Amino acid sequence: MFERSPCPLFQPGDIVIILSLGLMDESEIAALEPKVAFVEEKNRITSVETKTLAIPDPL
């Protein structure tokens, strides 16, 4: 968690990427359909794309 709000780190007009992480078992991973939401300058969603999940081979 943040010790303080992340808002002071950003200024109006900045491009911000928000990433969500989670722990999943194999069945949840197999059913996962990652989505990317694109927004315009007033943060209104312009499109949502479903992406292919790329799982790297274990080391």
CATH number for 25: 2.40.40.20
pLDDT tens digits along 15-52 = 888 888 889 898 898 898 999 999 988 889 999 999 98
16 falls within a domain: yes
| Interstrand relation of 45-50 and 35-39 (parallel, antiparallel or unpaired) | antiparallel
Question: 11-24: per-residue pLDDT in tens?
Answer: 878 888 888 888 98
Residue 55 located in a structural domain: no
Segments forming the whole domain that contains residue 24: 7-50
Domain assignment present for 58: no
Tell me if 24 is assigned to some domain.
yes
Q: What is the pLDDT of residue 36?
A: 92
User: What is the amino acid identity at position 15?
Assistant: I
Q: Is residue 35 part of a domain?
A: yes
In the predicted model, is pLDDT for residue 4 greater than 80?
no
Residue found under tokens 């078992």: 25
As given in the structure block, the two tokens for residue 46 are: 């312009």
The structural domain count of the chain equals 1
Report the alpha-carbon angle 6-11-16, nearest 5. Answer: 65
What's the pLDDT score for residue 53?
Answer: 82
Tell me whether residue 57 is in a domain. no
